[in-house]
């Protein structure tokens, strides 16, 4: 009649098959997570490995004679007179200083002319010296010991990027220059040290990778983020509150809803060309200005903020709204006293994620001219920070990555470290704000 009674201790074939399937699924899941972790660590490892050298730079310490007859022939120390002396007059002073340093180090100049030694220093070194002298005219007539940026080749040699073999086909910078660098290093005049200018400086011309910094581009990014925050947050929250709490449910609001969802999926370059047509060509706002970049990124960030804000509003239990309406609160009081405070963590998280997205966006900036060799000086005033041409961090990184010299490549990686640092900081802020505002109900 009935099947023989089975023991509980021996699972049946169906149970065994199910257990095997579950074990397989768990193994797949674990493998997927491990793969993701491996990719992440690999990525971070490469970024840190390739980018960390950008934070160190080779400097040469030189004692430069500043003869009055060359720098201030009239002897008046008149700033206007001094300014008339160009960097061409300063360059030979550096050549002489290098030659002296070499003699003191007990080495000989392998070149026929002292001028050839110049390739050891950054092309910006004479300007660096001139700026110092113009700032302190009393130095003229004496001598000055100062740290100068070494050229990218020397820097690369200290970092192992440049070798004698790799220089075989170069003409301006030869293996003989490396011998001089070795001698200077032995004498303690050439050293690699932390380079603050990378964090604070501006982009430099194509031939001076050693002088380039990401600071000005970071200010551009900051200005854009301020514009996005100031516009996208209030507009996005107001739109969401209206749609979610006040708008009638009809065809029109359905259409708006679908379109907002679609906007979130529009490629960012489309927003870029829209910004070019609307803000620059039609409204006549200045090209390459962070203000325009911020406006474009606002357009791009709005759907993200609206979608996350609406989700946060919808997550507030309806019982809270009923409770408020039940004691006679108006709809606006219900929203502002009860619903919005409860939705705040979600709104802030969405906003910060939207900002982080905007911070990393490059494509729309290409179209409004925030790319290329844009700003050589940090903005002088707050107004200039928004209106003067500038780049942004991701655009600056893109620009560096496409320049030829491998020294630029290193800078691009360094910029990426900084960008990721900013993104992590923003995400951390999102988490902290969430914790701070989170309330149970």
Residue closer to another protein by CB (options 11, 317) is: 317
> Cβ 248 to another protein, closest distance in Å?
6
- Looking at the Cβ atoms of 212 and 243, the one nearer to another protein is 243
Q: How far is the CB of 324 from another protein (least distance, A)?
A: 7
Give the interface with another protein as residue ranges (CB under 8 A).
Answer: 248-249, 317, 319-330, 333, 337-338, 342, 439-441
Please say which residue, 321 or 434, places its beta carbon nearer to another protein: 321
C-alpha to C-alpha distance for 214 and 295, rounded to whole angstroms = 22
- Identify which of residues 332 and 425 has a Cβ nearer to another protein in the complex: 332
Q: Which is nearer to another protein, 247 or 433 (CB)?
A: 247
Annotate 110-136 with b (16+ C-beta within 10 A) or e (fewer): eeeebebbbbbbbbbbbbbbbeebeee
CA 149, CA 128: separation in Å to the nearest integer? 9
CB of 327 to another protein, least distance (A): 4
Least Å distance between CB 311 and another protein?
A: 19
- Closest approach, Cβ 436 to another protein, in A, equals 15
Select 209 or 345, whichever has its Cβ closest to another protein.
Answer: 345
Nearest C-alpha neighbor of 295 from the set 282, 281, 308, 285: 285
Identify which of residues 6 and 439 has a Cβ nearer to another protein in the complex.
Answer: 439
Give min distance, CB of 250 to another protein, in A: 9
* Smallest separation (angstroms) from another protein to the CB of 337: 7
């Amino acid at each position: 009649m009935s099947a023989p009674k089975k023991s509980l201790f021996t699972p049946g074939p169906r149970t065994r098959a199910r257990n095997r399937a579950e074990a397989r699924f768990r193994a797949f899941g674990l493998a997927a997570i491990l793969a993701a972790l491996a990719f992440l660590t690999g990525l971070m490892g490469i970024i840190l490995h390739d980018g960390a050298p950008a934070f160190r730079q080779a400097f040469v310490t030189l004692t430069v004679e500043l003869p009055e007859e060359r720098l201030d022939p009239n002897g008046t120390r008149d700033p206007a007179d001094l300014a008339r002396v160009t960097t061409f007059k300063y360059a030979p002073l550096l050549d002489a200083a290098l030659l002296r340093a070499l003699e003191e180090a007990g080495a000989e100049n392998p070149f026929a002319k002292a001028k050839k030694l110049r390739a050891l220093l950054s092309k910006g070194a004479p300007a660096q010296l001139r700026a110092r002298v113009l700032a302190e005219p009393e130095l003229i007539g004496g001598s000055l010991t100062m740290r100068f940026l070494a050229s990218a080749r020397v820097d690369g040699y200290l970092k192992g990027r440049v070798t004698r073999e790799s220089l075989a086909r170069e003409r301006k910078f030869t293996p003989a220059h490396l011998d001089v660098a070795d001698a200077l290093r032995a004498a303690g005049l050439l050293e690699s040290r932390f380079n603050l200018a990378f964090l604070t400086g501006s982009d430099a011309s194509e031939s001076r990778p050693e002088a380039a910094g990401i600071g000005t581009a970071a200010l551009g990014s900051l200005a854009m983020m301020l514009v996005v925050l100031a516009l996208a947050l209030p507009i996005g929250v107001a739109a969401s509150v209206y749609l979610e709490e006040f708008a009638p449910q009809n065809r029109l609001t359905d259409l708006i809803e679908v379109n907002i969802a679609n906007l979130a999926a529009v490629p960012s370059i489309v927003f870029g060309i829209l910004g070019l047509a609307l803000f620059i060509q039609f409204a006549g706002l200045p090209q390459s200005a962070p203000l325009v970049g911020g406006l474009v990124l606002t357009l791009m960030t709005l759907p993200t903020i609206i979608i996350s804000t609406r989700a946060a509003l919808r997550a507030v239990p309806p019982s809270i709204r009923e409770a408020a309406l039940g004691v006679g609160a108006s709809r606006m009081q219900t929203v502002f006293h009860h619903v919005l405070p409860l939705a705040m963590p979600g709104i802030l998280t969405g906003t910060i994620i939207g900002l982080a997205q905007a911070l990393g966006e490059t494509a729309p900036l290409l179209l409004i001219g925030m790319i290329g060799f844009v700003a050589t000086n940090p903005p002088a005033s707050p107004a200039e920070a928004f209106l003067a041409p500038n780049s942004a961090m991701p655009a600056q990184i893109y620009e560096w990555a496409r320049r030829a010299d491998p020294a630029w490549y290193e800078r691009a990686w360094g910029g990426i470290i900084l960008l990721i640092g900013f993104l992590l900081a923003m995400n951390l802020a999102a988490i902290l704000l969430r914790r701070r505002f989170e309330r149970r109900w």
